[in-house]
Amino acid sequence: MDLKKMKNEDKLSLCRKYYLGGFALLPFLWFVNSVWFFCEAFRRPEYEQQKQIRTYVVRSIIGTVFWVAAITTWVVIFQIYRAEWGATADYLSFIIPRGIP
């Protein structure tokens, strides 16, 4: 889809849908929203809906950074303490390492 061919109201509606979709535990939508609408929000000449699009883009960037930090923190903690957590970590693991024979 080419954003240049869309009406400004449709751009705002689509941007808002992607932003709200990120709250459904789909943070990838926030990333897509940030990338796709960044130029529309910050580099295009001013128009009426641009301020709202800019708000959604900035909030999507913040949400993306938050989710990346949270997931990275969880992966690091899990990898460091997995062996100490015993059976609980095994239940959380999809692939259980066999260890040293």
User: Cα separations (Å) of 43 from 24, 38, 54?
Assistant: 29, 8, 10
Tens-digit pLDDT profile for residues 62-94: 999 999 999 999 999 999 998 899 889 888 888
Residue 69 phi, psi dihedral angles, 5° rounding: -65, -45
| pLDDT at residue 89, rounded to an integer | 87
Residue type, 74: W
Q: How confident is the model at residue 96 (pLDDT cuts 50, 70, 90)?
A: confident
Residue pair 33/60 in contact by the 8 Å Cβ criterion: yes
Tens-digit pLDDT profile for residues 16-54: 999 999 999 899 999 999 999 999 999 999 999 999 999
Residue keyed to tokens 């941007």: 15
